[in-house]
Structure 1
Amino acid sequence: MKKAALAFIGVLGFGLATVGQDYPNPEFNNEVYAFQKDSSKLFRLEKQTATVENKTSIVSGSRVEYNIDAVKATVRLGNIDRLSFVFWTGAAASGIAPGVAPGSRGDSMIRASGVDPSLLNVGGANSPDNLSLYRMDAAKGRRTILLVKAGGYFSKKGGESEKYSLSTKRIREGYFEMFVDKKLPPGEYAFVIRSQGMDMMRGGVTLFCFGVD
């Protein structure tokens, strides 16, 4: 009986610790932040934009890639095993989009058009499902994500940058914690989110970059 009671207390304590975990809202929504759970601190990642570059050569083949300047990210993460990542869409706990008060004229007009205001995130991803994590190739003064490579006349080798799978946990309305499914070795990395508007028309993306030392 005592063992059962102790086991129940242990489970209850774990549940309370989980509920009591402080997940602060990031300063900016629709961005990826590194999260240090033991101190409940958020670290903003380096934000960059890039467009798709297509390179074709009969000799070396074709490449489709994203490039950004500088071989190293300005944000360096140590103790990567103690970190996760968080993403906030900007949704309020009530499910109403920030800046749109419940019952307001703006809210009513949006709903009248058949759109839920809580789903509106201009310039954002709306969901962490739209994020992909890549390891970047760092060389010749820049960082590259190789999306696809096809061989040419003298080079038959294809390939692409390594992509890491993510597990996602919903913390609250519009707020998600993401875990990389395997350990990240030292190197350069970027979360990729498809851009909207004119950037999307040009094949643009937003990158949230970091380095692992």
Structure 2
Amino acid sequence: MRGVGHGRGSESDMMRDRVIETAIRLFASLGHDATPVQMIADAAGLDVVTVTDLVGDKREIYLAVMKRTYRDVWVMLDGVFAEFTPDRAGVHLLANRYLDFCVEHPEVPELWIHRWLSDAADVNGLEALYLKPTLDRLTDALRGIIDTDVDLEEALWTIIWCVRGFVVGGVLTSSGQRAGPGNIYYLRRFRAHLHVLVDRMFKPDR
């Protein structure tokens, strides 16, 4: 399921990975607060004692989940910035890769949307630990190629909100049905709209 390989390692390492991967799916689907450790253990095919020995209590499992997904996002950005050019095409590449990553890994936007809804409210500091470095990296790359009358941070958040909303919630079709990224027509349509949003951020001569 995941985009980043973790190697074979020892049996305990592989079981720990299995617990984290299982917790990612459950926390993304149900939220941290609605997911007991027993559910994670059952879904991973292990007992609770083994799960806590491998990863820790629910708080520690959640921290491991958020760290794993942050690492996956960072690896994706490493790939993007290996090809990035400081122009309109480069930012289209960045937007496309971010959209593709969220489509392939919907659990990542789902986890953050749960946090927006005050899930795991007692686990503080993750935004500063994981979101801020990501946003800082993006603003450093984009500063200077964005129109001066555009608030770069708000523009980035606009893209993030739109992509997360589309991937998790989809759109309402003319027939009254919900369509998400699994519908190729609406995925292409949303990508085209995403490019328009990006283009509005650029200086006219770019």
TM-score of the two chains, using structure 2 as the length reference:
0.29
Q: Give 1 or 2: higher helix fraction.
A: 2
Structure number with the bigger relative contact order (C-alpha 8 A, sep ≥ 6) is: 1
Structure with bigger gyration radius: 1
TM-score of the two chains, using structure 1 as the length reference:
0.28
